[in-house]
Amino acid sequence: MIMVSSMTRWPLPWRILGYTLISLAVLAWVGAGASLAAGLGPPTSSNALIAAAVLAAAGLVLIMAAIGLSVFLVRSRRMARSPVDTERRAAIRQSLKWVWLSYLPLAAGIAWWVFAVNEWAGQRGFLLGVSGFMFGLAGGAAIYSRFMSVVAPRRRLVGMSFGTYTLVMAAVTLVSAIVLAVLAFASPQP
């Protein structure tokens, strides 16, 4: 049973709380990214890596709190459940495997980042690490788009269908990753 609903149908005080939780989660993840970059960049810092892990976990907890709030609102009947037919619900359940599979390239990109920073010294390792992470990010987004095409087939972002938008953004990310890899090998090393 799908319990999460659109926040635009939430009562106003709950909607403010939901948007606040999501905004704080995004800020926590931005802080986690900055801490990760500081921890992996030369010289490596274990304190920054720990801060990145804590901030990433805090962001995840905040997102889960927003989802829990949505479940609470539906179950307490403060908000009507969105009508979803059984065929669509079954299709959404079957497509959830794409969400889990989308984490594999992302995890591989993070692993490559750690490997590259430890393998190559200086700017070369950092640029190659970021390049590999961006390859993983593009792959994860492309896989995740399969789930979104089932969940929101008519949703449009910036005037494009979600699938087209994902492919364009993945292409931009891949080009950026290639440029960073070329810069890594073109830059002089000490």
Residues 142 and 71 in one domain: no
As for how many domains the chain has, the answer is 2
Residues 116 and 135 in one domain: yes
Residues 65 and 89 in one domain: no
Output the pLDDT for position 87. Answer: 84
pLDDT, tens digit (0-9, with 9 covering 90-100), for 78-121: 776 666 778 877 888 888 888 888 889 989 988 998 899 888 88
Output the pLDDT for position 78. Answer: 76
Residues 59 and 96 in one domain: no
Residues 146 and 70 in one domain: no
Output the pLDDT for position 172. Answer: 86
Q: Where a domain ends, among 48, 83, 118? A: 83
* Integer Cα distance of 132 and 110 in angstroms: 8
Flag residues of the chain having pLDDT under 50: 1-5
Q: pTM of the prediction?
A: 0.59
* Integer Cα distance of 173 and 15 in angstroms: 33
Residues 90 and 172 in one domain: yes
Residues 5 and 74 in one domain: yes
Residues 98 and 145 in one domain: yes
Integer angstrom CA distances of residue 35 from 39, 43, 56, 175: 6, 13, 10, 25
Nearby residues of 71 by Cβ (< 8 Å), 6 or more positions away: 3, 4
The boundaries of the domain holding residue 135 are 85-190
